[in-house]
Each structure stands twice: as C-alpha cells, then as structure tokens.
A and B are shown apart, each in its own frame.
Chain A
Amino acid sequence: MLKIENLHAEIDGKEILKGLSLTVNAGEVHAIMGPNGAGKSTLGYVLGGRPGYEVTAGSVTFDGVDLLELEAHERAAAGVFLGFQYPVEIPGVSNVQFLREALNAQRATRDEKPLSGGEFLKLARGQADLLGMNYDMLKRPVNVGFSGGEKKRNEMVQMGIVNPKFAILDETDSGLDIDALRVVGDGINRIMRAPDKAVLLITHYQRLLDYVEPDFVHVLADGKIVRSGGKELAQQLESEGYVGIAA
C-alpha cells in the first residue's frame, strides 16, 4: 500500500530524514517509535504534504501513485489521513461544517456525489456516538476550547467520518488519560483494522500499543529506521530505553 524508499527531507535547509525506507502492506499496523528529534513527526508531515518540508531525495508511492506529486488535499482524497499530534483550533468554523466540507471535497476530488446535509449528520452523529463524543461538540468551532483528550477524540471522529485507507497517527496517545486512551485505541481498531487498510502509529510509548497491537515496530533514530521487529521490540524499548537499541 505504502512504499517509502530512501527518503531524504529537510526543513529550513536542515536535513531531518536521512534515507528512510519502509513498506506498509494492506492489513498491517506499523508502529514507529524513537527518541525526541528523531524525525517521527517530520515523517508524518512529509507524508501528509505539509508546506515547508522539502523532499530532497527518495520516493513515496501509495497504491502505486507517486504520493509526493499530490497536493495535501489530494492525498486526503486518495485515502491518506494524518492524525495530528497537536490538532489545530479553528475559531469561527464549526466542526460539522469543517467535516462536511472535508468529506465532500474528498468525494468531489474522487468524482463522487456529495453527501446531503441529512446523510452527513447521520454519519457524523454515528461516529461521535461511537467515540463517546457529545454531539454538541460537533457544533462547536473546530477544537476551540477542547481539552487535549477531546482534541484527540475529535481526530478519531474525523477519521471515522472520512474513513481513510491509510492513517498516519502522530502521537495520538499523548495527552490522554487511561479511559480516553482506551476509547481512542478502540476507535483506531474499529475504523482501521481491516484487510484493505493500514496504519502507521507514531508514538513515544508502549501504552497505546497495548490497545492497538502492531504487526511491526520500527525504531527511528537520526532520520533513519535503525531497527525493525515485531511487537516485542516495543516492550524491549520500554524496558531498555532507546539508548542501547538506537545506537
């Protein structure tokens, strides 16, 4: 589904990714772990198409398409979802308006018919219910005044509504208490655990992996994947730290 080869990327002239290669197949959940500054978030942003991140070498193909050639919104329409570590507050734009726009824009890019207001509301309510989000929060401006946990929950509601093929979730577990972690973990499993879908979980900690069991764990250090393994690698990292493994 996703094939990253020898990816080099820089921001403001500073190279962050230094030859990263990774293949994710449909039906797989991959976890990327690594110390601060390793390039984990940069990987997410480069895959999402954030301006300012320049790819200097390498390639990324998604379902056979050159992902790097697509605009950010086209990547979304192609089925890529980027869950933000720090979801952005958008005053004056309601969650429902934002999400309906997003979903219908994606559908338009894919030459599909837009959802009507009624169809959309039904979908949005359903997803909000599943994630234990109060429907009133959907009517509020996007993320404005939300707690850290509510923002992350909102990311999962968004993911449920746009129903992507491939989700990159950047520290979706940070800022969550135990109960919220379980809700978010259940959400990821429910929405993304499918034979035709895949997930890249970017995380610092093992704890999210207790809920969303990865098929593969990779250690990212200094812009490269330095070690890959099964879920036991995450446990090893948790007990031994990055120092020994990433060195």
Chain B
Amino acid sequence: MSVLSQILPGTGRGTSEAGGGGSPLDVTSVEAPLHPTATRRGPPPRGGEDFRIGLPSTREESWRWGDPAAIAAAAELPRGIALDAGEWFLDLPGARAVFVDGVLDEGRSDLRHVAIVPIDGGSHALGRRTTGLGWSLRVDADATAELIQIVHIATGGDNQLPAEIVLANGASASVVETYVGAGWSNRSTQMMLGKGAKLTRAVRLLQSDGFVSLRDEVEVGAEASLIVTVLGAGDAGTRIDGSITVTGDDAFAEYGGALLTRNDQRQECAVSVRHAALNGQSKQIWRAVAADKSTASLAARVEVARDAQKTDGVQSLRGLLLQRTATVNLKPELEIFADDVKCAHGATVGELDQRALFYMQSRGIPHAKAQALLTRAFVGDAFVQITDETVREAFVADADAWLERALSAPLPPAGGVGGGASS
C-alpha cells in the first residue's frame, strides 16, 4: 500500500470537455481529468471476489474468439517471487517505472514526470476493473517528454492498473511497456493527443504464463500522430482491445503489431479505428504467427464517418501457420459512410512459401533455420514503423527468441552482416 504515499499533486479536477463528444480535441492544458466524474472513486475491491463475474462471454461478437476462461485461470495462478526488472529495461535514458502486481516499486523506479494518481478505467468490461491508482503522463503544450519505460512484473493472481497519457497541443512522448511474469495483468490506458501532439508507444507482452489484457482508448486530435506497436511473444494468453478515434483533421493513427502463439496458447486483438474528421490517415498492420495447436486472432475495424472525407486507411492482416494444427482467425471490417475515401485492405492466411524454403535449403540453409528466417521476415513487416532503433531491435530480438523456442532453430543476429561470427 506504499503506493498511496505516491499520490502526487497537480491533477486538477475541474469540469472539462476533454474527451467528450466528437468535437476536435484542443488540449491547451493537461490539468483536466479524462473522466471528470470518477477520479475520486477509490479502487474497487481487488482480490477475493469471483473473477468470473462480469467477464465477457464468447457469445458476444467481439469476444467470439476470446478466452475468458483463461483469464479466470490466470487470476488463480499462485503468487510467486517477482522477477528482476533490470534485464527488461532497454538501454535508453529517461524515466523508469516498475510495477509489481500493479503496484509501483518505488525503489526501482525513477518516475520523473510520471505521476501516480487515481484514474477511472472507463466502462469497458475489463478496463473498468482497473479503476483506482494508476500512472499518469501529462505533457504540457509543445514540450517533449523523456522516454518512459515501464516494466510490469506479475507474480501470480490478478493485478489491475489504469493509466493515462495526455499530450497537450504540440507535445510529444514515447512510452515502452514490457510485461513479464505470470498471472492476470489487466490494464486500461486512456490516451489523448492534442493538436499536433505525437505519441509513440511500444508494448512487449512477454509474460511466461497467465493472461495479459489491454484496453486502449485513444483520441487523436488535429494533425496529431499516434503510433502504437504491440508484440505478443510470451506464453501467456492475450486480449488487446483498442479503440482509436481520430477526432481532428489531418491526423495520423497507426495501431498494429504481431501476435506469436505456440503450444495451446491463444492471443487475440480486437481494434477499431474510427475516423471522425477530414484527411485522416490510419494504418493497421498486423501479423499473426501460430504454431502447434495455438490460435491467434485479429479483428480490425475501420470506421469512416460521413464527414470524414479524404480518409486514407490501410489495413493489412496476415496470418502464418507454422503447422496445420494451428489456427489464425482474421476479421477485417470496413464501415464507410463518407464517399471520398481510400481504404486499402488485405487479409490472408497461409503457410511459409515452400518454394522459398527449398530455395534457401538448396543454398545450404537447414530447414528449421530457413523457416525461422522466413518467419522473421514475415513478422518484421509489423515493426517497420518503430523509429527508435533500440526499441525496434528489442522487438526483433523478442520475436527471434520466440522463433527459436517455436522452431528450435538458432537465428543469426538481425541484419546479418554486422558484428562478428554468426552461428
């Protein structure tokens, strides 16, 4: 409960229009709470209750591929010892926060401009369970926040944590989150980008067991840029619920990543991007790789409101089956009410190109390594938008580590020709 002492001042609670309605965002101040009615509400009881109560049902369309039973099972994993956070931080300067079972570990954190405040998790079935103390990043107009790295360590049981990122006009921030350990980690992250704000967020899901559920809600203001990249490369179940609304003209929103599943694991993502303003651009580039008897599911939706003319949307969902016992579900959806828009979309599921495999083998590359190289190339499409080289290399390394486990084949260093001898 030491977290209570970490509540920092500076989160004004005046009424605010921020986040309401469909009007373009204009965030001149980062003082206003995102959910003005609820910030004083204390955290709901955490632990002790029946987790199954209120969990979504697979009868709901958005949960048709979901695995609520896995959430309940993850929440009942016995608590153990927290992993060392150090190895999960990337070698980059900036703020660092370690949350152990959703509670800030002050000793290992250097919060700088991140605050711990009460946050409302919203109304989403899973997100609302996070309501309580969470981390908050608010960046003033035209300011650039240092990189923020957050490591979430789960030791077992369930843990809930809300978060908010509010960027005033012209502000920019970059966040890297890493999930490790075991248990049910449930997160709600509300993001608001004012005019011309820039947010990049990279999320590595590396828990070895249990379940990670992410609820992301984003409003993207005029001329703002959002880039979110998620990699599911652990052995836990995953549910990603993304809801992005482009509320200002000339904005850019990219939300994509890769889900890598093996054994009997299930990972899924349901994301929707709603264009409610002119000249918006959005990208949803997702790659799913499924091995063994696992299932990876992607449901991606683009909505273009009647007034959102000149929208340019790109949606690319591709699945790769490493064995025929695996499953990839893809559900691309477009709902377009404007008449002057461009929405490219593609959805394919297949196996590795047998011709390419043989071509590589005929040059001396063993079958498993050829599979690994081709799969790495396939997954790499989902990481190209990560501009920070260290972060992108970490994603590639995470994916490589997964491939080595799934295919039992060592991989050479990415890029191939740098550095010393390769195996």
Contact = CB atoms under 8 A, between A and B. Distances in A.
- A, B bound: yes
Interface of A: 48-51, 71-73, 75-77, 81-82, 84, 87-94, 96-106, 108-109, 113-117, 120-121, 141, 158, 162
Chain B contact surface mostly: helix
B351 to A, nearest CB: 13
Contacts of A71: 361, 366-367
A56 to B, nearest CB: 20
B355 interface: yes
Interface string B338-365: 0000000000000001111011111111
Contacts of A96: 416-417
B361 A73 contact: yes
A102 B358 contact: no
B417 A73 contact: no
A237 to B, nearest CB: 28
B89 interface: no
A94 B365 CA distance: 14
Chain A contact surface mostly: helix
A98 B361 CA distance: 11
Contacts of B378: 92
Interface stretch (B45-53, B269-277, B368-376): B368-376
A48 B360 CA distance: 11
A102 B362 CA distance: 9
B377 A90 contact: yes
A121 B417 contact: yes
22 contacts: A49-B362, A71-B361, A72-B358, A72-B361, A73-B363, A73-B366, A73-B370, A76-B361, A88-B355, A88-B359, A90-B360, A98-B363, A98-B416, A100-B417, A101-B373, A101-B412, A101-B422, A103-B364, A104-B412, A104-B422, A115-B421, A120-B417
Interface in B363-415: 363-367, 369-370, 373-374, 376-378, 380-381, 412, 415
A93 B373 contact: yes
A48 B374 contact: no
Given A84-B359, A88-B356, A117-B417, A100 B365 contact: no
Contacts of A87: 359
Contacts of B367: 71-73
Interface of B: 353-356, 358-367, 369-370, 373-374, 376-378, 380-381, 412, 415-423
Q: Which 3 A-B pairs have the closest CB atoms?
A: A92-B377, A97-B416, A106-B364
Contacts of B422: 100-101, 104, 114
A145 to B, nearest CB: 15
A100 B421 CA distance: 10
B416 A100 contact: yes
A76 B381 contact: no
B419 A117 contact: yes
A102 B364 contact: yes
Contact of A92 (B369, B376, B417): B376
B380 A97 contact: no
B97 to A, nearest CB: 34
A4 B366 CA distance: 25
Contact of B423 (A48, A102, A108, A115): A108
Nearest to A114: B421
Contacts of A158: 363
A158 to B, nearest CB: 7
A49 B420 CA distance: 32
Contacts of A97: 373, 412, 415-417
A50 B418 CA distance: 31
Given A73-B362, A114-B422, 19 more contacts: A50-B358, A71-B367, A73-B361, A76-B362, A76-B363, A84-B359, A91-B377, A96-B416, A97-B412, A97-B416, A98-B416, A103-B364, A104-B422, A105-B364, A106-B363, A115-B421, A117-B419, A117-B420, A141-B377
A106 B369 CA distance: 12
A84 B361 CA distance: 13
Contacts of A93: 373-374, 377
B415 A77 contact: no
A101 B367 CA distance: 12
A210 B380 CA distance: 45
A141 to B, nearest CB: 8
A192 B415 CA distance: 30
Nearest to B381: A92
Contacts of B363: 73, 76, 98-99, 102, 106, 158, 162
Nearest to A50: B358
